[in-house]
Structure 1
Amino acid sequence: MFYVSALRIPQSSTSPSPPISSSNPNTGKKKKSWSRAVFSNLQRKGLERRFQIQKYITKPDRRQLAATLGLTDAQVKVWFQNRRMKWRHSNEAGKTEDNSVDSTQDSDIHIDVDSIAEND
């Protein structure tokens, strides 16, 4: 089982910074810009361990994991979505390599059985 509740990371170090507002002179509307959230090593390890156990996390589990790691529910949700895509792509790449290796092995290896039998 995996517990990290004793270790808390301050919310300010893991949350995205507040939106940066810039006025658009044409419309007068403010434009929001978000910075990328950077996870600590502890948070990444916690997320990875949970992903190894559970590829699809339920809402209650996601909320609990977010609270344990000091992240928002949305951060955990997006991290799992991105991690599943990475996992799928790595699986597809592995299958493609396996198929190409199997097909080349059969066609590239030619053994003359008659010459082996004559040498014995």
Structure 2
Amino acid sequence: MKKMMILAASLAYGQHGHDSHGKEMTMTGLVVDTGCYLSHDTKGEKHVACATACAKAGVPLALLDEASGTLYIPVAADHKNQNERLMPFIEKKVKVSGTLVEKGGVKGFVIKSVEAAK
């Protein structure tokens, strides 16, 4: 019985491993640093230097849908720091494709591609 449970668990992990279960989508958002945005609503072109310093210090960057006010946390399903991926776009609008994932009221986004929004 124990061997069957181990086999079932390993098969489930092999099939699902780090696959993201959510809704595939493309969205446009503003890359913001979570520290300044959440604590004192700071964002925008005048905030680039501060947001860059925050991101380099380890403050997570996130994607803000300005129309709805929804903040999406980049999910590191690939075991890589998502700040590195988003740093070239700090306080700029981006078009991201990937998977929307939600849990416990938190909205996350597994980024497959990111580019400057037109």
Q: Same fold (TM over 0.5)?
A: no
| Structure in which a larger fraction of residues adopt strand | 2
Q: Which has the larger radius of gyration?
A: 1
TM-score (norm 2): 0.21
